Chains A and B, each alone.
Chain A
C-alpha cells in the first residue's frame, strides 16, 4: 500500500516571501501521479498542482512549483511571493496510474500554512 508523509504540521511565511512544503511518499509502483491540494477554512479541497511521475520536468503553475525527486520519493511544493490568500491546509496526495489502482487518492496528514503580514 502507498503511504504519503508530510512531516511539517505547521509552517509560517511572511507575505511576499517564499516557502517550501515537504512531502515524501512510499510506493513500489513506477507510474503514478502526485498532487498538492489546498483546503482553506471553507473546507473545499482545491487542486494546486499535479505531477506525472513519468515526466522529469517539474510542474509549475504561476507562483506554485514542485521539486519532484523520483528516486528519493520526494515531492515538495514551493510557493513564491506568498499572499494572504495562500493561508490554508495543504495536502500532498498520491494516485496510482495502474489499471484498477488509479481510482483513489492517498493523502498525507497536511501542513497548515500561515501567512503573516
Chain B
C-alpha cells in the first residue's frame, strides 16, 4: 500500500489552456474525494465518488471543471480554459466505505497548479 498518489505534482500553464490531474487512491478504497486548497486556507471540498459514481459536487466546481473515475479506480480532474483564479493545490483523498475503517480519509501529496 503506497498511499494516495497524485500526478503531476506541479503544473504551470498559460491562461486558457486545459490541464488534467490524475489521482490513484489507496487500493480497495471505494471512496475518492477532490479538494482544492489555496494559500493560507484549509482545503475545500470539490467532489466525491463512490466507486465510479460521482455522488456529490460542490458549487465550487464550475462548468469548466470535470472529474471522472472510470472503473472505480483512478480518477482525473480536468480544468478547461484555466483562469488565474484556478491557481491552487488540488488534493485527492480516499477512504473505505463510511461504515468501516473508522471513516478515516487519507490524502495524497497534492498537485500544484499555477496559471500564468
Contact = CB atoms under 8 A, between A and B. Distances in A.
Interface stretch (B19-27, B37-45, B61-69): B37-45
Nearest to B48: A103
A47 B58 CA distance: 23
A95 interface: yes
B28 interface: no
Nearest to B103: A33
Q: Size class of B's contact patch? A: 20 to 34
Interface string B49-88: 0000001101000000000000000000000000000000
Contact of A105 (B45, B56, B58, B89): B45
B98 interface: yes
B40 A109 contact: yes
Contacts of A107: 42-44
Given A102-B98, A106-B45, A109-B42, 9 more contacts: A43-B109, A45-B43, A45-B91, A47-B105, A50-B102, A95-B105, A102-B103, A103-B56, A104-B33
Interface of A: 4, 33, 37, 42-47, 50, 91, 93, 95, 102-110
